[in-house]
Amino acid sequence: MSQPLITLDFLDKAPAAEAALPADVRVSAATRTGRARKLYIESYGCQMNFSDSEIVSSILADEGFDTTEDVTTADLVLLNTCSIREKAEQTVRMRLKQINSHKKRRPGMLVGVLGCMAERLKSKFLEEEKIVDLVVGPDAYRDLPQLISQVDGGQKAVNVLLSREETYADITPVRLNSNGITAFISIMRGCDNMCSFCVVPFTRGRERSRDAHSIVQEARDLVAAGYKEVTLLGQNVDSYKWASADGTEHVNFAQLLERVALVSPALRVRFSTSHPKDITDEVLHTMARYDNICKYIHLPAQSGNSRVLELMNRTYDRPWYEERVRAIRRILGDDCAISTDMIAGFCSETEDEHQDSLSLLDFAQYDMGYNFFYSERPGTLAARKLADDIPLETKKRRLQEIIDRQQLHARARYARMVGKVHQVLVEGPSKRSAEHLSGRNSQNQVVIFPKQNFQKGDYVQVLATSTTGAALLGEAV
């Protein structure tokens, strides 16, 4: 295998002017040695990948890597990749071609692929994409320093071992692209469900829950650093389950949610994703008890038809899903926002069954929908057992019908919020106007209002006076 030429000129950079720093600034060992190499990291896919990139940056900061936003000057370029649909993988391959052109101008640049595509393709990646030096799966990030030194030594490096224990609980993430107000906290990894369409159990391994104390501590640290909102992340947060080593302490998701909500009443708590088979009334009652737990639930249905749901191996049927929506309305009221993911054109789906998905949208009146057409993934149950037999044009047409119907409901949900006062956490200036601020209400709807003297991080009571259908416009009261 041909090896990239590695130039070590970055080792000779002048050290930062350390003497000028005040005594209480902690300068990492690497910065003190002046050996800072530049890391450029790009994340694709779900929030868990974004959260993992923050862990990777933390591990590499200890190795003397500073992050940069300029790929052309990077010493190490990492793409944290997604395999969920074929298109996600195509995007990464196209990006690698662009990076190749940067690498030609900067021959010392190392290129690594992390995340789900790394896990799915393993060392095959090195054969398929010659530009790649490093392939690292989601449970192997602690090994990055060792793997990078292997690459520095002129070899290619691969570690795609999955773990039953790794949760990176002790690693403090470096917050990337942070607004300083909202942050993600990973509470678990992997997935033990075997939805027949889904690649995640293969790329992320077995489900494991992170130590509850380390989660609460991370939330406390974020509050101390000025953060106002955390989102607890997992593929299926409702199956969170942690026990202390001596077996005296057991924490389920509802209890964890409560512990995080108690960190500070000024800290908003969100979570994602809830699995319809696992979300309990206990979780809903916990949400009802705490004002700072946001009234928004992402509850992916995938389909509105029981036969299709069974083929998808989702382990619930339509009546069960409808009952969970009713429970949300019963316990949290009509104002609680619900969103879904829908897959159009799954194997053997008939027109009538597609109509059931549309009617589920009408039943649930979702605030938001993330909708896709089915994309067969190699190795999954569906790829092995079911024919991907819906023509692409049909899949696309059904998807468009789902999107159109969902938009009607989203607009209606925004419209019913007009005339009400919302507590808005300000995230920053509005993209449209420097005279306006943008934030979110508890339901995760975007709210835009005149800036006055308010700032990022403030909680502001805003009367919604109109809606664009995708945001509320209003004024502080």
Nearest of 221, 232, 229 to residue 255 by alpha carbon: 232
Minimum distance, C-beta of residue 204 to ligand SF4, in the bound complex (Å): 8
Choice between 92 and 200, CB closer to ligand SF4:
200
- Strand (E) positions, 263-400? 268-272, 296-298, 337-344, 368-373
Separation of alpha carbons 168 and 133, rounded Å: 24
- Which lies closer to ligand F3S via its Cβ, residue 116 or residue 332? 116
Query: Do residues 288 and 281 lie in contact, with contact meaning Cβ atoms separated by under 8 Å?
Result: no
Candidates 132-140, 197-205, 282-290, 387-395: pick the segment binding ligand SAH (CB under 6 A). Answer: 197-205
Helix (H) or strand (E) holding 43: strand 37-43
- Whose tokens are 């993430």? That residue is 173
Nearer to ligand F3S, 75 or 238 (CB): 238
Q: In the complex with ligand F3S, which residue's Cβ is closer, 48 or 219?
A: 48
In the range 84-103, which residues lie near ligand SAH by CB under 6 A? 84-85
Q: Name which of 235 and 292 has its Cβ closer to ligand SF4.
A: 235
Q: For residue 405, give Cα distances in angstroms to 322, 359, 366, 397, 398.
A: 18, 9, 10, 12, 11
Residue 49 interacts, among ligand SF4, ligand F3S, ligand SAH, none and using kind-specific CB cut-offs from 5 to 8 Å, with: ligand F3S
Q: Report in angstroms how near the CB of residue 272 gets to ligand SAH at its nearest.
A: 9
- Would you count residue 344 as binding ligand SAH (CB under 6 A)? no
DSSP assignment string, 412-468: HHHHTTTTSEEEEEEEEE-SS-TTEEEEE-TT--EEEEE-TT--TT-EEEEEEEEE-
Q: Tokens for 380?
A: 């999954």
Residue 203 touches which of ligand F3S, ligand SAH, ligand SF4, none (Cβ within 5-8 Å per kind): ligand F3S
Q: Going by DSSP bridges, is the β-strand pair 76-81/110-114 parallel, antiparallel, or unpaired?
A: parallel
Q: Which does 201 bind (CB under 5 to 8 A by kind): ligand SF4, ligand F3S, ligand SAH, none?
A: ligand SF4
Supply the minimum distance, in Å, between the C-beta of residue 38 and ligand SAH: 32
**What are the two backbone dihedrals, phi and then psi, of residue 5, each rounded to the nearest 5 degrees?**
-75, 130
Residue 273, preceding peptide bond in cis (omega within 30° of 0): yes
Q: How far is the CB of 82 from ligand SF4 (least distance, A)?
A: 12
The answer to whether the beta carbons of residues 39 and 76 sit under 8 Å apart is: yes
If contact means CB under 5 to 8 A according to the sort of partner, which of ligand SAH, ligand SF4, ligand F3S, none does residue 184 touch? none
Nearer to ligand F3S, 78 or 462 (CB): 78
Partner whose binding site includes residue 372, from ligand F3S, ligand SF4, ligand SAH, none (CB under 5 to 8 Å by kind) = ligand SAH
* CA-CA-CA-CA torsion sign (170, 176, 178, 184): negative
Cα angle 186, 293, 429; round to 5? 80
Residue 388 sits in the site that holds ligand SAH (CB under 6 A): no
Q: In the bound complex, what is the minimum distance in angstroms from residue 342's beta carbon to ligand SAH?
A: 7
Which residues of this chain interact with ligand SF4, rule CB under 6 A? 191, 193, 195, 198, 200-201, 235-236, 275
Nearest distance, CB of residue 126 and ligand SF4, angstroms: 27
The secondary structure of 269-320 as a DSSP string is EEEE---TTT--HHHHHHHHH-TTB-SEEE---B-S-HHHHHHTT-S--HHH
Number of residues that bind ligand SAH (CB under 6 A): 17
Give whichever of 118 and 147 is closer to ligand F3S, judged by the CB atom: 118
Tokens of 474: 């209003």
Q: Among candidates 318, 267, 319, 276, which has minimal Cα distance to 297?
A: 276
| Length of the chain as a residue count | 477
Site for ligand SAH in 275-304 (CB under 6 A): 275, 300, 302
Per-residue tokens: 300: 């992916």
DSSP-derived pairing of the beta strands 472-476 and 459-467: antiparallel
- Which residues in the 16-55 window bind ligand SAH by CB under 6 A? none
Q: Which is nearer to ligand SF4, 236 or 255 (CB)?
A: 236
Q: Which DSSP string corresponds to 135-182?
A: EE-TT-GGGHHHHHHHHHTT--EEE----SS---TT--PPPPS--SSE
Q: Which does 82 bind (CB under 5 to 8 A by kind): ligand SAH, ligand SF4, ligand F3S, none?
A: ligand F3S
85 binds, among ligand SF4, ligand F3S, ligand SAH, none (CB under 5 to 8 A by kind): ligand SAH
Enter the tokens of residue 127: 């054969």
Closest approach, Cβ 369 to ligand SAH, in A, equals 10
Between residues 79 and 472, which has the closer beta carbon with respect to ligand F3S?
A: 79
**Closest to ligand F3S by CB, 200 or 410:** 200
- The residues of the shown chain that bind ligand F3S, judged by CB under 6 A, are 45-46, 48-49, 82-84, 115-116, 199-200, 203-204
Question: Cβ contacts of residue 90 below 8 Å, gap of 6+?
Answer: none
Judged by CB under 6 A, which of 58, 91, 179, 375 binds ligand SAH? 375
Pairing of strands 229-233, 268-272: parallel
Residues lying near ligand SAH in the complex (CB under 6 A) are found at 84-85, 197-198, 200, 235-236, 273, 275, 300, 302, 341, 343, 372, 374-375, 377
